[in-house]
Structure 1
Amino acid sequence: MRGSILKVTWDKIRTTVRSVNVGLADVIDKLSPGEEFYLYKVAYPFGSKLSDRGLFHIPLENGEIVPITDPRVDVALRADLQYADRSAPVGIILKNTHEVFISTPQYTLPILVAYPGSVFGLWKQLDNSPTFHPTNIFSVTAGARSLFMLPNIANYTNHKNLVRDFHVSKQAPKTLQDQWPIFKTIAQQEQADWRLELLLIPEKWIKQAKIDPAWHEFYRMLLENAWHSCAYERNQIFYEFALSCVQANRNLKPNPYLLDTVRHVLSITLGSAPGFKAATDELLGPITLLQKAYVESYRLKDQAPILLHPAHFNIHDPASSPVYYSMQFPTTISFSPRSRQLTNTLLELREFKYIMDVFLHEINARNVHLEDTIIDMLPQKVKYDYFHTKPDLQEGIQSTLAMTDSDPNFLDTLYKQEAGEFPSNGTFIRGCIKIGAKERE
């Protein structure tokens, strides 16, 4: 799979930009930039690197994707785009998505999914130097990096079929995180036509925006975009304070690991961090191709080939798809140790639910003084449901078999098969929290 890069003028690309971000297109139309203000349209195949621990990657003319520091990168191109030091320049997503994540020896932690129309690369460019933004801890891939099957796909005999048909070199996956490299290989072998398309903005645009009054509206739009994108982070200290007040008011002494999980689920609820949802379109990767490979080659016949990917919940949209957090697949960016007193996931889920119920009650009772904030909306707008393979209805823990009753996304696989059942014993949902919009009464 190869990438591509093409130098374009605004008049050649404006219609495409308008289709994903009307406001930005209107502002640039007013500038009517000439040919000297060219841009770069870049395409990346599924799974390819845009950034590896802060080092930006770019396609060469032959389609090979290399670090921006590679000596084979055209000198003029590097000069246009390396104003971000080694990190990503400012750009806009034209088609499909990318995932920003942090890699550790144990985990891959999804941080952000950026969708068509999103402007990226702003925080560092609009910061003073030295910046507060630690770009070197982040990596970015075309499509979802945190992508995995809900049914078990660890059968050695079945996996050999993938080795035969798609030249997969990896062993059968032992964990959810082991699956993505296999998916990437399948996409490469099938020469998937899935592409992430970006429009990269050269340094000349950014310099002009900072000094030319005629460009101030463009610059203000960049500032506003960056400001809105960090709304949760700017106010996080107050939400932390509110949670501490609840602990003090109710004399809670929770397991630190579960308190970290509560904080993270709140950030998912408010759209800052991604949860996970069943794939129902191809924005995050060649989903149909992968599902077909597992049904026809791996021979996943008795269970539906449901793929899960990171997604952001929108508390302001009653039609927003629900997302999930799994106690089996922790994605918090805090690493407090698990309590030895909690011996299984079901006990963790019960205690988590108790902490969350207390927090929501204190918000409703106006005991945390967050009136007129987005946090104050939680009890009215969001419903939390809890699922496990061993339900405890008395404690509010439902059976995973009930998950399809309230979330039709699980039944909407892109590749259809006749006999596939919902994999209710899947690792991810064996102790999970559903974050969904509360139905209006």
Structure 2
Amino acid sequence: MAGAPVLLVDDDDQMRRSTAQALELAGFAVTALATAQEALERAGPAFGGAVITDIRMPGMDGITLLERLREIDAEVPVILITGHAEVQLAVDAMRRGAYDFIEKPFTTQTLVSALRRALERRGLVLENRRLRAVAGQKDDLEARMPGRSAVIIDLRFRLRAIGPSDADALILGPTGAGKEVAARAMHDLSRRADRPFIAINCAALPATLIESELFGHEAGAFPGALRARYGRFEHARGGTILLDEIGSMPLDLQAKLLRVLQERTITRLGSNEPVPLDVRFLASSRADLAEEVAAGRFREDLFYRLNVALVRVPPLAARREDIPILFLQLLREAAARHNVAEPTAPPELLAALAARDWPGNARELRNAAERFTLGLDWMDPAEGAGAAPFLADRVAAFERSVIAAAIAAHGGRLKPVYELLGISRKTLYEKMQKHGLDRKLIVDGGDSDG
């Protein structure tokens, strides 16, 4: 597959250069990287190539990189380069989803052969996804953000509309709702999909180093700056930058960011030379930035500059009917990560999940799926559960969630649902109409009632 991207990860400079040169001579488009983190920033669900990584590396090793990549897309092929003493480790990694492993020392032909097979497989995976989408089946975005509620359908529509453009965007939503998932989806839908996706947590940057971290610096720019260093913005060249929790950014730095957004250039600390910046900016916030502007904590001009396109990620409470579907998907993912059999979630459990408030949203639900997969109680005793204020509201919400969960658990077939609930078919239809439930919006299709 000539032209398909190959990410080569190895902290050994000489090994990395020689391997990259050999692969380029064989016709591959190779990007040589010194750290696993750089590979994570390039290999999303839209990534059309393969990853080759050494196992033993400082910081994030090859096995951890494999696990992180499988969380992003379980079908990205990863080839491990291993020493003799690490063969058993590599074999175990293959059981967890690695495509292949090659033992050192290896010939170029051995690596080229494995890489060609991996790229052919990746091409088939992406083509199958495209054909399923054309046929009206779940596409990649629907797999990342499952659900049939009106709010999640609207969100996917907006992401498909905004993603392929180069417009900056503002993503608002509560903690754990999936703002970074939405940002990553927009990146993967854009022409920048094969370039870095850099997520920067503005709340976690140390105030004394934030400018150097973002803009970079020249040697001697401040005490301890012994050599020049690229900042995070330059590192994202050609790609997408997500400014997570941008409301936490200090006001003085907001002014500098505004200038970057307007001029698409940066100036490193200790330099007067502007550096052109070809990136797309996405910003996310759990706080309503319009309210932050009114309170004087966020610059109005920066708010309007970022708010070219607005994406709101809804909390789980706004799409309770999606909770059973999402939980079942999270169970599959957790089972694959831990290499265990996927546990069965009974309708009663799905109903309880849908009836519960999730202040931590999708992240909290993911933790519950993780615990359930490991055989633990799905609800953390330390986590509180909210409730509707009136008894009638609670009863109606519970009834709706029980019916929706039963329909999801039985794949849209209604006969086992009304039999399980001990009601007539007519009563079930009446209750579905009362609660605004459509089985086609709860599951993909479903068999006949019979």
Per the normalisation by structure 2, the TM-score is 0.25
- Larger proportion of strand: 1
Rg comparison, structure with higher value: 2
- Larger proportion of helix: 2
